[in-house]
Amino acid sequence: MAEILKHAVPRAEVAASLDQVRATVAAVVADVRERGDAAVRAYSEKFDAWSPDSFRLSAEEVEKIVASVPEQVIDDIRFVQDQVRAFARHQLDSLREFEVETLPGVRLGQKHIPVQAAGAYIPGGRYPLTASAHMTVVTAKVAGVPRVVACTPPIHGEIPAATVAAMHLAGADEIWLLGGVQAVAAMAVGTDAMRPVNLIAGPGNAYVAEAKRQLFGEIGIDLFAGPTEILVLADEHADPFVCAVDLLSQAEHGPDSPAVLITTSREVAERTLAEVERLLPSMPTRDFAGPAWRDHGQVHVVDTLDELYELADAFAFEHVEVLTAEPRLALERMTQYGALFLGEGTCVSFGDKVIGTNHVLPTRGAARYTGGLWVGKYLKTVTYQEVTDPESQALLGRLCGRASRVELFEGHARSGDVRAAKAASDELPWNTE
């Protein structure tokens, strides 16, 4: 039986908050549809106090901004992008195009075609999230997307130079200083200034996630990537100090970021709670981490590792950090997560910032049915068919006729009949003058 030492706010309160988010997003999207660039500018002024002559940066402006970024920062960006690019290329190499002959003269094939235009949303309202540029733009370019539109908001009215540098070095074809729902809507429906894209990828706050949800179908999206989540799994061998540090590392993303500990040790649970209370007041980002831990932090104590893994799968969280004596057991025992971080030497922050796997991951239980952003999200896996052998054409034509008439699809049946008639001179009793 699980014992809960710390509860989150009731789900009803979270649901009520999401209702307000949905209404706000719907109004903004509708306005951008109707008024286009004028609406985009109005919301940028309202939410970001940002209204330049052009939201899109020119090549000269990008060059000037990149030149202002310290050399060490540029070197670090290049290093991390190399890691992301290498992992994405390994993913691409795992995908196979093929053509097989299933019957004489019957060839079936599979191809992977990149979407022709992708939007990359790089959050930045609170922090300059350069890493999101690596995850979205680099991965799209490895997939072969010819046009990548990258949007990020200004931060307190200032240009986030390091983020612009990351977008540029990642290979973005268009860089726009534009954020929030207005950016997502502009990329999805298009305006006079911005041509629409086919797919939008990238994390964001609740409003950005909801905008992607509402526009899905009209455009493709990577997944529903809302407020970040961390789940720490610990046994009696775990260091409570490490547990606390890592929980707070994700709580600082924002006041709605869940941070949860499940442990088989009541001592580890109690000491982790004490460490959080000790560390939190001195955190520079406590204004975000504090409310997140207060409202969305949880601590569960279970009796066995079996219960630990079962409860962890029920959460289906974005990030799962495994601080147990045998962390690789999680690979066998768990099925519902965005990404696993195995052992004390591997922290969620590595995945967020530097290690090379993609940090755009499913939240709010979406790990029950999808993984995170990867090179395959930018590819359309399509098929093709070709029949050149007359005997196979006749065989399939006759079979198509019989199968279609079972379903009362006479038009389909006749299409098959014609192939059999062309290939083997079958009669067409329905073809009377």
* Residues designated as active site: 318-319
Taking residue 405's Cβ as centre, other Cβ atoms within 10 Å add up to: 15
Answer whether 5's CB lies under 8 Å from 300's CB: yes
Distances (CA, A) of 173 to 117, 139, 148, 431: 10, 14, 5, 56
The CA distance from 51 to 151, in Å, is 15
Dihedral pair phi/psi, residue 196, rounded to 5°: -70, 160
Task: Tell me the torsion sign for CA atoms 411, 415, 416, 421.
Answer: positive
Distances (CA, A) of 389 to 94, 107, 354, 415, 418: 32, 10, 54, 17, 15
In 3D, which of 238, 190, 237, 235 has the Cα closest to residue 37? 190
The CA distance from 295 to 17, in Å, is 13
The CA distance from 142 to 205, in Å, is 26
The CA distance from 391 to 398, in Å, is 11
In 3D, which of 26, 221, 236 has the Cα closest to residue 136? 221
Residue partners of 166: CB distance under 8 A and separation at least 6: 77, 81, 122, 130, 131, 133, 134
CA dihedral 171, 172, 177, 180 (to 10 degrees): -120
The CA distance from 368 to 422, in Å, is 49
The CA distance from 41 to 53, in Å, is 10
